Amino acid sequence: MSVSDEAQPETVKVVLLGDQSVGKTSLRSQYLYRYFSSMYKATIGADFLMKRVRTPDDQIMDLQIWDTAGQERFNAVSRAFYRGADIGVIVYDITNAESFYHLTKWVDDFVANSSGSRPYLMIVGNKRDNESTRQISYRQAVEFATKQVEDGLIGDIDKDVVETTAKRHQDVVDLFSRCAELGAQKMKNDALSPMSFDDIDASNAVDIAGLPRKRGGCC
């Protein structure tokens, strides 16, 4: 059966976030278009692109991949797009220690603004092709992630704390395949533990009639 013959798949909202210039846009472009440019064009605001994928256990799903702006002046705008996220892909640059030290702030912001959707996290050290100027080791990333495991945000450090280069297609395929796998896991877990009334944020209620099908979020 072809993908198009099947019932409408579930949508998994994946949000890329992290400091400016760490490579969020480049990771998504490499995944979707096999395109990498060494020119830097700052993202302003946020947007999403969709990709239909098949998980290793043969489940079809639509990844809704949001790219957000890392520049500080856009932080308030970016936060608005975390709502209803299933997976946060928090990116730092292994050659820029500051982008790593800011991870706590990104995690806190993301969790606080995802509006009770109980998202999963991936921690991604990008630009691993620049080994000679590395400032952050993989071990440091694992140490950081241990706290997120305790908080239930990361399930499997080996799979969810990764290093990539946006120059290499296979790296980004592996990254987003893991997102799909996590999306499938999250759907199962959400189905087993439906939202409690405490999870529902009615302050920004919208009429969802006519909006595309999406579990537990507004967009």
Ligand X SMILES: Nc1nc2c(ncn2[C@@H]2O[C@H](COP(=O)(O)OP(=O)(O)OP(=O)(O)O)[C@@H](O)[C@H]2O)c(=O)[nH]1
Interface region with ligand X, contact rule CB under 6 A, candidates 32-40, 50-58, 117-125, 208-216: 32-40
Question: In Å, how far are 65, 116, 156, 176, 201 from 198, measured between CA atoms?
Answer: 27, 9, 27, 31, 8
Q: Which of residues 128-147 bind ligand X (CB under 6 A)?
A: 129-130
Binding mask 12-31 for ligand X (x = CB under 6 A): --------xxxxxxx-----
Question: In angstroms, what is the minimal distance from the CB of 27 to Mg ion?
Answer: 9
Interaction of residue 185 with ligand X, rule CB under 6 A: no
Question: In angstroms, what is the minimal distance from the CB of 29 to ligand X?
Answer: 7
Burial 126-151 (b: 16+ CB within 10 A, else e): bbbeeeeebebeeeebeebbeebbee
- Rule CB under 5 A: choose which of 13, 14, 23, 25 binds Mg ion: 25
Q: Which does 115 bind (CB under 5 to 8 A by kind): Mg ion, ligand X, none?
A: none
Nearer to Mg ion, 99 or 117 (CB): 99
Interface region with Mg ion, contact rule CB under 5 A, candidates 5-13, 24-32, 93-101, 166-174: 24-32
Interaction of residue 42 with ligand X, rule CB under 6 A: yes
Q: What is the largest CA-CA distance in the chain?
A: 53
Question: What angle do helix axes 103-113 and 138-150 make, rounded to 10 degrees?
Answer: 30
Count of beta carbons in the 10 Å neighbourhood of residue 187 = 16
Least Cα distance to 90 among 105, 75, 77, 76 occurs for 105
- Which residues would be at the binding site for Mg ion (CB under 5 A)? 24-25, 43
